[in-house]
Amino acid sequence: MKESNGQDRGLITRGVLDNIDEGIIALGHAGRIALFNPAAQLFTGVSEKQALGRPVEELFARQPELLKLVRTVLASGRSISDHREILLVRPGTSPLPVRPAASPLYQDSGEQNGAILVLHDLSRVKELEKAMRQADRLAMLGVLAAGLAHEIKNPLGGIKGAAQLLDRELEESSALRDFTRLIIREAERVNGIIEELMDLARPRPARMEEVQLARLLNDVVLLQRQAHRDREVTILLDLDPSIPPIRGDENHLTQMLVNLIKNAAEAVGPGGQVEVVCRVSHDFNFATPGNLPGPVIVIEVKDNGPGLSPEEIERVFTPFYSTKAKGSGLGLAICQKIAEEHGALLKISSEARRGSVFSVTLPFLRPTRQTPRPTGRKPARRRNPPPSKKGAP
């Protein structure tokens, strides 16, 4: 390989700093910012222009832990790479968990000339940890509850059978038949819940095939509009036309989207609004076994309902957690399971009284067979979604 000259090396260094996922901040003379790469700008919400030349004490005035780290490195001349995680406060958005590290910078003469601060974004790791915790909890409870469900099914069958016999014995006009019918109906409802629960613990294996997400979403939204028509809930659909076909289990994906949209429609009051958005996102990469990191498909179900507090968010995936009179509390647990089998991430962002967003981030699983794309177009590499197709059927 040819040795690169100084200019090439400068370009390579610039390229590395511009593209690396770590926030890199160099402090020069008197602790003034001398370098502030794009990742550092993204993490802190401060532009390079705002940062360059400013004293670090001023720029990070609201981050005492970060300042303490920088001061220690400047004073001791030693690197610190094992600092615990801190939350970066950012204007207008939620704090970002990062792991900071800092090292002194030396001139050729050996004299200390500043420091370099590296910020490692932990938000993705945190999301995955949370998804793992949810999945673990689900697996444990699923197995436990399935054992219990098995024990309930037999006596329940007995209760229903006895109620049916009693029903047949009673006169057609008997007022008691209201009660026997109620017993039969409720026994069937409990049986339905148990079947769902057993599905959760021992789901039928996913049948992965090519799925046209756009068509599937159109169908699900159409049905849900129909189901919630009486309460005058508006369900909008905003589809990115460049969504390619994916590999997935069509029935399971349908079940997941029905559960999410149904929850959203049930959460909003009469006249409320649910918006379903499906787009290709290049904002972060998703590496799954057998797949190169690449763009992802994001399906968001947004509602303007009461929202969820952080404590409620912790609870909603737990099987049987429900705040509804007739809810089984299994809907989201099943969604979690389906997301997992598709290598997808199911996430909630919500604030009490401000509505919720349930988002499913699916890896770009390309179909195994080469099939023509529905639109004949490649997904365009763009950050902003195309003009919305709100209200499409």
Q: Return phi, psi of residue 281, to 5°.
A: -120, 135
- Looking at the Cβ atoms of 44 and 328, the one nearer to Mg ion is 328
User: In this structure, are residues 392 and 237 in contact, taking their beta carbons and an 8 Å threshold?
Assistant: yes
User: In this structure, are residues 357 and 300 in contact, taking their beta carbons and an 8 Å threshold?
Assistant: yes
Interactions with ligand ATP, residue window 257-276 (CB under 6 A): 259, 263-264, 267
Stretch that binds ligand ATP, among 102-110, 138-146, 278-286, 318-326 (CB under 6 A): 318-326
Q: Would you give the binding string for ligand ATP spanning residues 154-193, x where CB under 6 A is met?
A: ----------------------------------------
Q: How far is the CB of 346 from Mg ion (least distance, A)?
A: 13
Distance (Å, rounded) from C-alpha 1 to C-alpha 347? 46
User: Does residue number 303 form part of the binding site for ligand ATP (CB under 6 A)?
Assistant: yes
Number of residues binding to Mg ion, judged by CB under 5 A:
2
Interactions with ligand ATP, residue window 195-214 (CB under 6 A): none
- Looking at the Cβ atoms of 224 and 263, the one nearer to Mg ion is 263
- Amino acid at site 105: L
User: Does residue number 359 form part of the binding site for ligand ATP (CB under 6 A)?
Assistant: no
What does each C-alpha distance from 4 to 9, 12, 16, 29 come to in angstroms?
6, 10, 15, 30
User: Does residue number 330 form part of the binding site for ligand ATP (CB under 6 A)?
Assistant: yes
User: Does residue number 104 form part of the binding site for ligand ATP (CB under 6 A)?
Assistant: no
- Looking at the Cβ atoms of 113 and 318, the one nearer to ligand ATP is 318
Distance (Å, rounded) from C-alpha 9 to C-alpha 20? 16
- Looking at the Cβ atoms of 23 and 306, the one nearer to ligand ATP is 306
Q: Would you give the binding string for Mg ion spanning residues 303-342, x where CB under 5 A is met?
A: ----------------------------x-----------
- Looking at the Cβ atoms of 32 and 302, the one nearer to ligand ATP is 302
CB within 8 Å of 371: residues ≥ 6 apart: 210, 245
Strand 273-286, strand 234-239: pairing: parallel
Q: Which residue is nearest to Mg ion (CB)?
A: 331
Dihedral, CA of residue 265, residue 270, residue 273 and residue 278, to nearest 10: 20
Distance (Å, rounded) from C-alpha 247 to C-alpha 210? 5
The strands making up 294-303's β-sheet, listed across from edge to edge, are 234-239, 273-286, 294-303, 356-363, 345-350
**What sign results for the dihedral spanned by CA atoms 221, 225, 228, 232?**
positive
- Looking at the Cβ atoms of 212 and 322, the one nearer to ligand ATP is 322
Number of residues binding to ligand ATP, judged by CB under 6 A:
21
Distance (Å, rounded) from C-alpha 392 to C-alpha 222? 10
Stretch that binds ligand ATP, among 92-100, 215-223, 256-264, 373-381 (CB under 6 A): 256-264
Q: For residue 287, what are its two tokens? A: 């590496």
Picking from 387, 366, 393, 361, the residue whose alpha carbon sits closest to that of residue 240 is: 387
Binding partner of 212, given Mg ion, ligand ATP, none, CB within 5-8 angstroms per partner class:
none
Binding partner of 305, given ligand ATP, Mg ion, none, CB within 5-8 angstroms per partner class:
ligand ATP
The per-type count for the chain, helices as H runs and strands as E runs, is 11, 12
- Looking at the Cβ atoms of 86 and 299, the one nearer to Mg ion is 299
User: In this structure, are residues 321 and 334 in contact, taking their beta carbons and an 8 Å threshold?
Assistant: no
Q: How far is the CB of 305 from ligand ATP (least distance, A)?
A: 5
Choice from 63, 180, 263, 359 touching Mg ion (CB under 5 A): 263
User: In this structure, are residues 210 and 367 in contact, taking their beta carbons and an 8 Å threshold?
Assistant: yes
**List of residues contacting ligand ATP (CB under 6 A):** 259, 263-264, 267, 303, 305-306, 308, 316, 321-324, 327-333, 356
**List of residues contacting Mg ion (CB under 5 A):** 263, 331
